[in-house]
Amino acid sequence: MAGWWPALPRAARRYPWPTNVLLYAALFSAGDALQQRLRGGPADWQQTRRVATVAVTFHANFNYVWLRLLERALPGRAPRTVLAKVLCDQAIGGPVAVSAFYAGMSILQEKDDIFLDLKQKFWNTYKSGLMYWPFVQLTNFGLVPVHWRTAYTGLCGFLWATFLCFSQQSGDGTFESAFAFLHVKEARALERPPEK
């Protein structure tokens, strides 16, 4: 394992697009696997494969291009520039990413109405994202080198993907529904008699 770690920064500089896309997709898919584990059921690898497909075909590539476009349009790390990037990201990038996730997952799940989840959960999910992503992107645009930004977004996206996959499977796009689920699960675990 230690052998590939020093090669990662070189790969990110030499091949930034595939390195960032693969790291992002792996972390996003891991978020789905964690969500399944937290729910307590058996692993649904087809679901994780669908999440990975959406991550590789759209999310990772969109983030890679989008973050570079923002850097080209608004270069630098001055506070006003960083705030402008965050505002653009939340006003344009956020809605595009949430919409693509719900529609893409519905297509891969072969749902009759591919826009149903999007219609039902978009606003709640977008508002939830506004409580998380601006802080992530302030750090991203202010501190992270351009060639690592997509991977950093993927790292923070691991937590977001856990929430997003839960919302797509059984939540309503709010943090409250995710926390309520975890609270109920914890209460059930405390009520169970100890195994002998």
Predicted confidence (pLDDT) per residue in 40-52, tens digit = 888 899 999 999 9
Whether residue 196 is predicted with pLDDT greater than 60 in this model: the reply is no
For residues 148 and 82, which has the higher predicted lDDT (pLDDT)? Answer: 82
The per-residue DSSP string of the chain comes to: -TTTTTHHHHHHHHSHHHHHHHHHHHHHHHHHHHHHHHHTS---HHHHHHHHHHIIIIIHHHHHHHHHHHHHHS-S--HHHHHHHHHHIIIIIHHHHHHHHHHHHHHHTT-S-TTHHHHHHHHHHHHHHHTTHHHHHHHHHHHS-GGGHHHHHHHHHHHHHHHHHHHHHT--S-HHHHHHHHHHHHHHHHHSPPP-
**Residue 178 pLDDT exceeds 80:** no
In tens, the pLDDT along 11-26 reads 767 777 888 788 888 9
User: Over the Cα atoms of the chain, what is R_g?
Assistant: 18
Q: Residue 129 is which amino acid?
A: G
Structure confidence by residue, pLDDT tens digits, 151-174: 788 888 888 888 888 888 776 767
pLDDT of res. 20:
79
Q: Quick one: tokens of 31?
A: 């978020």
Counting residues of the chain whose pLDDT is more than 90, the rounded percentage is: 49
Specify the pTM: 0.82
Q: Given this model, what pLDDT does residue 130 score?
A: 94
pLDDT at 192: 62
pLDDT one-digit tens code per residue, 76-106: 999 999 999 999 999 999 999 999 999 999 9
Most confident of 103-107, 144-148, 181-185, 187-191: 103-107
Is the pLDDT at 114 greater than 80? The verdict is yes
